[in-house]
Amino acid sequence: MNKLLFLILGLMVQAIAGACVPELPQGANKKIQTIVTPSYALSFMTVPETVKVGESFSIDWAVCVSDRSVSELRSVSVDAFMPEHNHGMNDKPTIIDKGHGLYHADGLMFHMSGQWDYIFILRTESSVARLSKKVWLK
Ligand SMILES: [Cu+2]
């Protein structure tokens, strides 16, 4: 998506929902995806940008908390699921908490073509939120 349009849309979403804006250092990566809920906002990018069936990839993401009533995040992880087949990935990714709401995961792989859901799991002491985004692979 055009960077300026993305920025404008981001500001509109922020204005409407009072959402925070996660700051993900994107470097040369052009494909940032964002998930916004009333409590959280999350931006992520895959490395490589285009994920292919049977090829291992990494994800970098940033999370921020919009709803001040939500207590501090204890852990954030990522997983992926194929809802049509009711299965996940073959291996668990390795997740690194880089601090300041930034995370990195290695070792993800979509082993089949079709629809997958990225699922980010955000845990506080008293709650678990699952933020998901669909992706289709040929
Ligand atoms: Cu499957």
For residue range 18-38, what is the model confidence (pLDDT) as tens digits?
Answer: 789 999 998 888 899 999 999
Tell me the CA–centroid distance for residue 14 and ligand 1, in Å.
35
Domain limits of the chain?
Answer: 3-137
Query: What is the share, in percent, of the chain residues with pLDDT greater than 90?
Result: 75
Tell me the CA–centroid distance for residue 33 and ligand 1, in Å.
23
* pLDDT at residue 70, as a whole number: 81
* pLDDT at residue 24, as a whole number: 94
Tell me the CA–centroid distance for residue 53 and ligand 1, in Å.
11
Tell me the CA–centroid distance for residue 65 and ligand 1, in Å.
33
* pLDDT at residue 10, as a whole number: 60
Tell me the CA–centroid distance for residue 113 and ligand 1, in Å.
7
98-121: average pLDDT: 96
Tell me the CA–centroid distance for residue 118 and ligand 1, in Å.
14
Residue 42 pLDDT class (50, 70, 90 cuts): very high
Mean pLDDT of the residues in the chain = 90
51 pLDDT above the threshold of 60? yes
Task: Just give the CATH number of 3-137.
Answer: 2.60.40.1930
DSSP symbols for the chain = --HHHHHHHHHHHHHHH---------TT----EEEE-SSEEEEEEEESSS--TT--EEEEEEEEE--TTSPPEEEEEEEEEETTTTEE-SSPPEEEEEETTEEEEEEE---SSEEEEEEEEEEESS-EEEEEEEEEE-
